[in-house]
Amino acid sequence: MKRGLWMARLARVVGAGVALGLLGLLGACSSAPKQPDPTPLGPVPPILRVDTVWHDSVGPVPSTFHAAVAGARVVVASSNGDVLCLSTSDGRELWHSHVDGGISAGVGSDGNFSAVVNAVNQVVSLGPQGQVLWRYQLPSSVITPPAVFGGIIVVQGADQHLWAFDAATGAKRWDDEFSAPALLLQRGSGMALADGDVVLGDARGRLHAVRLADGTALWDVQIGRPRGVTEVERLVSITGTPALAQGVACSRAYQSDLGCVDMTSGRLLWSARADGYSSVSQNGQELAAAQADGVVQAYAVADGKQLWHNDQLKYRKLGAPLLAGHTVAVGDLQGYVSFLDAKDGQIIGRASTDGSPIDSPMSLAGNTLVVVTSKGGIYGFLPR
């Protein structure tokens, strides 16, 4: 394994009582070959025009944070405690809030209520104007951004405990717990809603569905298969928010596999070996994923057949790709967003931001692509 990829992975690992072991692993891989330089960006044919329709900024945004798009609003949080709500149509600021002490996980929003986890592991609920409604002290740290669905806040702890709260009052609705491995990733999973059911991943490479109303477990499916000898090599946590479309949930397990599940039956449709660590995107027919080396790969959702791949962005430390209409958008370490034709993977357009990495997943609000950089730049792009 190339040293750059190994080091990037190791930096995303946390665990109880393993600090000395990780230091030993760092020393052991110091002689590994250096990762190749990022592939230079070539010229782009004038096929797709991409306009910047609005731009704003917030504080630094870690790769584990997600922008939350709900209807005509997008809510973005920074690690320094700022939370910003913007109109997705014109970028107009709707409200601005500040959480004292900083934010460790965020943000989730249903357009009415929003939620973050602060630096001392408290769930913080924000009202329609960004006002703090309540705080709840959790017994464990949180990496995965909280999710808000119809006035219910769902939080997944790093220890794999799951809580649901009433967003308005803070009353606990239910809680549950999944088993956790000895090592955990610093890259959280995510939660998505379909027909009243919450779909989420765990640290053992399994995808779950639970009923939002009461937390009843509906199904769980193994996506990631542990391989290798060391505990680090065998990490298979589900990374990123599961991609839901047309009754199918697709997700990726860190450095091992990706796959799709029939949400009605809980049956695994397919899984495929895929070395990567960012979330996937799908529209019911096509799934797009970025591999660890920067190759963008497309699969058929029905059976996992490989449709095309693009290697023009290798070693550019790509973020999660996003299927947006007839294109696949993907951000890189220098703040560029490349647009690939969803039919054949050819690059047909490009947009630039502030030059900092695009680590957080991008979002689609209508026809507007919302991009957040690690420096906190927030961009609304309109491909034409």
What phi and psi values does residue 161 have, to the nearest 5 degrees? -75, 145
Are 69 and 24 in the same domain?
A: no
Q: DSSP code of 32?
A: S
Domain boundary among 159, 186, 213: 186
Q: Which of 237, 246, 233 is nearest to 278 (CA)?
A: 237
76 with 162, same domain: the answer is: yes
| Among 186, 207, 236, residue at a domain's last position | 186
Q: Residues 95, 82: contact at Cβ < 8 Å?
A: no
Whether 30 and 131 map to the same domain: the answer is no
Is 372 part of any domain? Answer: no
What's residue 5's pLDDT?
44
The reply to whether 29 and 80 lie within a common domain is no
Residue with tokens 């529209």: 283
**pLDDT score for 78:** 98
104 and 179 in a single domain? The answer is yes
- Spell 330-357 as b/e; 16+ CB within 10 A means b: bbbbebbbbbbbbeebebbbbbebeebb
CATH code where residue 75 lies: 2.40.128.630
Q: How many angstroms separate the CA atoms of 182 and 277, rounded?
A: 19
| Whether 23 and 73 share a structural domain | no
Task: Tell me if 244 is assigned to some domain.
Answer: no
**pLDDT for 155 beyond 50:** yes
Instruction: Look at 351 and 1; give whichever has higher pLDDT.
Output: 351
**Residue 184 confidence (pLDDT):** 64
Q: What's residue 7's pLDDT?
A: 39
Average pLDDT for 298-306: 98
pTM: 0.90
> Are 142 and 78 in a shared domain?
yes
User: Which position has the token pair 């420096």?
Assistant: 375
Q: How far apart are CA 302 and CA 340, in angstroms?
A: 21
In the 8-state DSSP scheme, what is residue 38?
P
- For residue 340, pLDDT over 60 is answered with yes
Lowest mean pLDDT among 178-187, 205-214, 248-257, 330-339: 178-187
Give me the pLDDT at residue 33, please.
Answer: 61
Same domain, 115 and 163: yes
What is the DSSP pairing of strand 217-222 with strand 82-87? Answer: unpaired
Asked whether residue 160 falls in the same domain as residue 90, the answer is yes
Indicate whether 142 belongs to any domain: yes
Q: Tell whether 4 and 111 lie within a shared domain.
A: no
Domain of 148, in residue numbers: 64-186
What's the pLDDT tens digit per position in 235-245?
889 999 999 99
Contact 275, 310 (CB under 8 A): no
Averaged over 91-106, what is the pLDDT?
96
Q: How many domains does the chain have?
A: 2
State residue 182's pLDDT score.
63
Mean pLDDT, residues 65-75: 95
Whether residue 92 contacts residue 105, with contact meaning beta carbons closer than 8 Å, is answered with no
Let me know whether 70 and 158 are in one domain.
yes
- Cβ–Cβ < 8 Å for 321, 328: yes
- Domain end, chosen from 186, 212, 237, is at 186
Does 106 map to a domain? yes
With CA atoms as reference, report the closest residue to 312 among 22, 40, 35, 26: 40
With respect to residue 28, please indicate whether it lies within any of the assigned structural domains: yes
Asked whether residue 14 is assigned to any structural domain, the reply reads yes
pLDDT value for 10: 40
Q: How confident is the model at residue 2 (pLDDT cuts 50, 70, 90)?
A: very low
For 166-198, what is each residue's pLDDT tens digit?
Answer: 999 999 999 998 876 666 666 678 999 999 999
pLDDT given for residue 230 in this prediction: 81
Q: Are residues 164 and 111 both part of a single domain?
A: yes
Relative to beta strand 183-185, strand 13-15 is: antiparallel
